[in-house]
């Protein structure tokens, strides 16, 4: 054990070029080197990859890494190869030459890490091939994808538990995620492990991220002002639609910002070149849909702005998590309107998921609305959602600027009056309410769902004010 620990710190310097472990890494690396099965829940950007990469290099045998995204595999294989580690990936976008290179390394038992997409691993020929290799460990990244209660369920992850058995022998299993509440964690354990693993859960807090929410007024101007306060810094602006991504990129460019668009509807060549520019240059502002992000590991992203309300609280946490991965201060701002809330709610109701799933989605959205509107420290509200108690943080808009309180009785009465008058003609309201007016309960209702904005008595129905969502 002592030897492998000394070896681990030597590798930390020589292969990864780091001076010290980050909080939580060393104990996980120790447990992995001692042969334990592990589930590790650690915040975004905390260095989970190293917790399986380092042991994979320190011990004999091949480590299989299951990852949901090709871009993420590509980046990690590139970085490992540059550091002199023999690594490869098997996925649908590989050239045939790359596949035969990887197969050759695998047959000669020279490969230390093999990244595989879960679909690929579900194929019998892949399992057969691995059963004949020297695979001794399987690391499952973004493990919350296995849970139907997680926010990013991928059915292909469900077969991973079987794969371990089919490969035969004793396959040490590791699972990593940044976002798993207690039900999701239990689900991960049930679905991926034959026996309960050693579980490591670190605080979800990212103290270097400043948190702020603002009701939308004119969102493009608000975004521009935010970007201007971060001149020459790299950042990401998330939008809810492709059209808005393009419009905002144009508007920012016209204002002299080095902005580039990214969404799934752009040509692959454009997407790749924009992503490379963002990764490699300083001061690029990426306006993007959520298609951009998972696995993006640029250490010095200094800000993340949501120009529209994110889908739910987990998505919000993952998306802001792309800022400040170097541990230095980074800024986040989320703009929201009643129109956004209504749209997100509609997306849930019109989705094809079973009712139970919808109920959970409503709860997740409700938790995000609570975060937008609760009159107490944002971080306290966010961490409470993940089951963590904390003190006011001093690094969010509400801690720093306080809550603006005012007497809203007259406005509320006007709103009620207008609503009664206008509803029959099908007209929409155009009133916006500051956070202080919302009497946000601090716990869900009896059905487990958080009441939504439109559910609150005395408040206006949906509106589209300030919402420049394009499509």
Residue span binding Mg ion (CB under 5 A) among the ranges 47-55, 117-125, 127-135, 313-321? 47-55
What does 47 interact with, of Mg ion, Zn ion, ligand ATP, none (CB < 5 to 8 A by kind)? ligand ATP
Q: With binding defined as CB under 6 A, does residue 153 bind ligand ATP?
A: no
Residue 226: φ, ψ to 5°: -65, -45
Long-range Cβ pairs for the range 165-170 (8 Å, 24+): 165/194, 166/127, 166/131, 167/127, 167/130, 167/131, 167/135, 168/131, 169/136
What does 379 interact with, of Zn ion, ligand ATP, Mg ion, none (CB < 5 to 8 A by kind)? Zn ion
Helix (H), strand (E), coil (C) string for 164-205: HHHHCCCCEEEEEECCCCHHHHHHHHHHHCCCCCEEEECCCC
Size of the site for ligand ATP (CB under 6 A): 17
CA-nearest of 267, 248, 49, 64 to 164 is 64
> Are the C-beta atoms of 34 and 174 separated by less than 8 Å?
no
In angstroms, give the least distance from the CB of 96 to ligand ATP.
29
CA distances from 298 to 19, 85, 89, 275, 277 (A): 19, 21, 21, 11, 11
What does 399 interact with, of ligand ATP, Zn ion, Mg ion, none (CB < 5 to 8 A by kind)? Zn ion
Q: How far is CA 243 from the centre of its chain?
A: 22
Instruction: Pick one of 98, 156, 205, 297: the residue that binds ligand ATP (CB under 6 A).
Output: 297
Instruction: Pick one of 32, 178, 305, 393: the residue that binds ligand ATP (CB under 6 A).
Output: 178
Instruction: Pick one of 49, 222, 287, 363: the residue that binds ligand ATP (CB under 6 A).
Output: 49
What does 312 interact with, of Zn ion, Mg ion, ligand ATP, none (CB < 5 to 8 A by kind)? none
Q: With binding defined as CB under 6 A, does residue 42 bind ligand ATP?
A: yes
Q: With binding defined as CB under 6 A, does residue 44 bind ligand ATP?
A: yes
Residue 234: enclosing H or E segment and its boundaries? strand 234-238
CA-nearest of 277, 227, 281 to 257 is 227
In angstroms, give the least distance from the CB of 228 to ligand ATP.
27
Residue span binding Zn ion (CB under 5 A) among the ranges 99-107, 360-368, 395-403, 441-449? 395-403
Angle at 39 (CA atoms; ends 33, 43), nearest 5 degrees: 105
In angstroms, give the least distance from the CB of 22 to ligand ATP.
4
Q: Which residue is nearest to ligand ATP (CB)?
A: 47
What does 396 interact with, of Mg ion, ligand ATP, Zn ion, none (CB < 5 to 8 A by kind)? Zn ion
In angstroms, give the least distance from the CB of 235 to Mg ion.
20
Instruction: Map the footprint of Mg ion across residues 48-107, applying CB under 5 A.
Output: 48
| Residue whose CB is less far from ligand ATP, 128 or 300 | 300
Q: With binding defined as CB under 6 A, does residue 45 bind ligand ATP?
A: yes
> Are the C-beta atoms of 235 and 227 separated by less than 8 Å?
yes
| Residue whose CB is less far from ligand ATP, 22 or 422 | 22
In angstroms, give the least distance from the CB of 139 to ligand ATP.
11
In angstroms, give the least distance from the CB of 304 to Zn ion.
17
| Sign of the C-alpha dihedral computed for residues 226, 232, 235 and 240 taken in this order | positive
Q: Are β-strands 213-215 and 330-336 bridged in parallel, bridged antiparallel, or unpaired? A: parallel
Q: Which residue is nearest to Mg ion (CB)?
A: 48
In angstroms, give the least distance from the CB of 346 to ligand ATP.
29
Query: Could you give the CA distance from residue 240 to residue 233 in angstroms, rounded to a whole number?
Result: 23
Determine if residue 173 is left, alpha or beta; phi over 0 gives left, psi from -120 to 50 gives alpha, anything else beta. beta
| Residue whose CB is less far from ligand ATP, 58 or 248 | 58
| Residue whose CB is less far from Mg ion, 48 or 345 | 48
**What are 128's two structure tokens?**
């057969």
| Residue whose CB is less far from Mg ion, 24 or 466 | 24
Instruction: Map the footprint of Zn ion across residues 371-390, applying CB under 5 A.
Output: 377, 379
Cα-trace Rg, the chain: 24
Query: Could you give the CA distance from residue 425 to residue 181 in angstroms, rounded to a whole number?
Result: 44
Query: Could you give the CA distance from residue 379 to residue 389 in angstroms, rounded to a whole number?
Result: 10
In angstroms, give the least distance from the CB of 87 to Zn ion.
41
| Residue whose CB is less far from Zn ion, 224 or 396 | 396
Instruction: Pick one of 5, 9, 22, 416: the residue that binds ligand ATP (CB under 6 A).
Output: 22
**What are 80's two structure tokens?**
């490992």
Q: With binding defined as CB under 5 A, does residue 210 bind Zn ion?
A: no
In angstroms, give the least distance from the CB of 177 to ligand ATP.
7
Query: Could you give the CA distance from residue 289 to residue 238 in angstroms, rounded to a whole number?
Result: 5
Q: With binding defined as CB under 5 A, does residue 469 bind Zn ion?
A: no
SS3 159: helix
Would you tell me which residues interact with Mg ion (CB under 5 A)? Answer: 48
Give the interface with Zn ion as residue ranges (CB under 5 A).
377, 379, 393, 396, 399
Binding residues vs ligand ATP (CB under 6 A): 18, 21-22, 25, 42, 44-50, 178, 297, 299, 321, 325
């Amino acid at each position: 054990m002592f030897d492998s620990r000394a070896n681990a710190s030597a590798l930390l310097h020589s292969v990864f070029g780091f001076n010290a472990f980050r909080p939580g890494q060393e104990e996980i690396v120790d447990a992995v080197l001692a042969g334990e099965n592990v589930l590790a829940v650690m915040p975004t950007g905390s260095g989970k990859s190293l917790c399986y990469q380092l042991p994979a290099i320190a011990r004999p045998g091949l480590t299989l890494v299951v990852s949901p995204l090709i871009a993420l595999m590509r980046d990690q294989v590139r970085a490992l190869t540059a550091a002199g580690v023999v690594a490869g990936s098997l996925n649908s976008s590989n050239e045939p030459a790359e596949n035969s290179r990887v197969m050759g390394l695998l047959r000669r038992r020279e490969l230390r890490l093999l990244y595989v997409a879960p679909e690929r691993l579900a194929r019998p020929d892949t399992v057969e091939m691995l059963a004949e290799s020297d695979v001794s460990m399987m690391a499952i990244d973004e493990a919350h994808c296995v849970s139907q209660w997680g926010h990013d369920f991928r059915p292909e992850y469900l077969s991973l538990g079987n794969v371990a058995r089919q490969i035969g022998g004793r396959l040490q299993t590791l699972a990593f995620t940044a976002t798993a509440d207690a039900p999701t964690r239990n689900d991960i354990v049930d679905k991926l492990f034959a026996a309960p693993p050693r579980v490591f859960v670190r605080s979800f807090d990212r103290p270097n991220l400043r948190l702020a929410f603002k009701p939308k007024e004119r969102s493009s101007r608000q975004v521009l002002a935010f970007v201007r306060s971060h001149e020459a810094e790299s950042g990401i602006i998330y939008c809810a639609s492709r059209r808005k991504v393009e419009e905002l990129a144009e508007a920012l460019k016209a204002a002299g910002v080095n902005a580039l668009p990214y969404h799934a509807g752009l040509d692959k060549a454009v997407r790749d070149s924009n992503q490379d520019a963002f990764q490699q240059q300083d001061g690029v502002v990426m306006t993007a849909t959520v298609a951009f992000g998972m696995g993006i590991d640029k250490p010095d992203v200094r800000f993340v702005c949501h120009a529209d309300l994110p889908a739910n609280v987990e998505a919000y946490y993952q998306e802001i998590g792309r800022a400040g991965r170097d541990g230095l201060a980074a800024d986040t701002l989320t703009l929201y309107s009643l129109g956004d809330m209504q749209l997100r709610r509609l997306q849930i109701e019109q989705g094809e998921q079973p009712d139970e799933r919808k109920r959970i989605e409503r709860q997740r959205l409700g938790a995000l609305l609570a975060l937008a509107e609760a009159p107490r420290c944002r971080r306290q509200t966010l961490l409470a959602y993940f089951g963590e108690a904390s003190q006011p943080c001093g690094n969010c808009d509400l801690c720093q600027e306080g809550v603006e309180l005012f007497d809203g009785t007259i406005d509320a009465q006007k709103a009620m009056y207008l609503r009664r008058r206008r509803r029959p003609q099908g007209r929409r309201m155009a009133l916006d309410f500051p956070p202080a007016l919302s009497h946000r309960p601090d716990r869900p209702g009896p059905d487990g769902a958080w009441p939504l904005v439109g559910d609150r008595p005395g408040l206006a129905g949906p509106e589209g004010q300030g919402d420049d969502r394009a499509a």
